[in-house]
């Protein structure tokens, strides 16, 4: 479990050999109400997911990188799917950020992944 925050990061190690160049990730977050005195409850929240190559500290392109949550429910697990191309690192750092850091916090988050096969690949633009 992570401390309540408006964001955080998680590092995963890829043990595939050879390393697939395209991956699909399932990300999940759990939100909790932060400071209830900060104002009105928003009905829509944007969650940004950034992926970095840990070895070279380079950004890995993922699509989509922004996700919108509606309605906002406390202690509810929200899931998002992102795809990457041209992955060359065995360690990736996932960074999660929200746009409402005063009233909602990310309590926990996680990642699962699998390689993409040619027949299920969607092009990233």
Domain-wise residue ranges, the chain: 7-116
pLDDT one-digit tens code per residue, 16-29: 777 777 888 999 99
pLDDT at site 8: 82
**Spatial CB neighbours of 115, under 8 Å, sequence gap ≥ 6:** 16, 20, 22, 23, 24
pLDDT one-digit tens code per residue, 37-82: 544 456 788 889 999 999 888 999 889 999 998 888 888 899 999 9
Q: What is the pTM of this model?
A: 0.75
Beta strand ranges found along the chain (DSSP E)? 7-13, 23-33, 45-53, 58-60, 62-63, 66-69, 77-84, 91-98, 104-115
Confidence of residue 120 (pLDDT cuts 50, 70, 90): very low
Considering the segment(s) 7-116 as one domain, its CATH architecture is Sandwich (2.60)
Token pair recorded at residue 105: 């916090």
pLDDT at site 93: 93
């Amino acid at each position: 479990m992570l401390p309540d925050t408006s964001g955080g990061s998680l590092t995963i190690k890829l043990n595939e050999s050879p390393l697939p160049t395209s991956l699909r990730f399932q990300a999940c977050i759990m939100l909790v109400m932060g400071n209830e005195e900060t104002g009105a409850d928003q009905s829509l929240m944007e969650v940004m997911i950034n992926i970095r190559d840990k070895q070279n500290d380079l950004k890995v392109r993922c699509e989509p990188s922004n996700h919108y949550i509606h309605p906002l429910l406390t202690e509810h697990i929200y899931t998002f799917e992102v795809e990457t191309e041209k992955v060359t690192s065995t360690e990736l750092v996932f960074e999660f950020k929200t746009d409402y850091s005063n009233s909602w916090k990310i309590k926990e988050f996680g990642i699962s992944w699998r390689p993409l096969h040619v027949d299920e690949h969607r092009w990233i633009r």
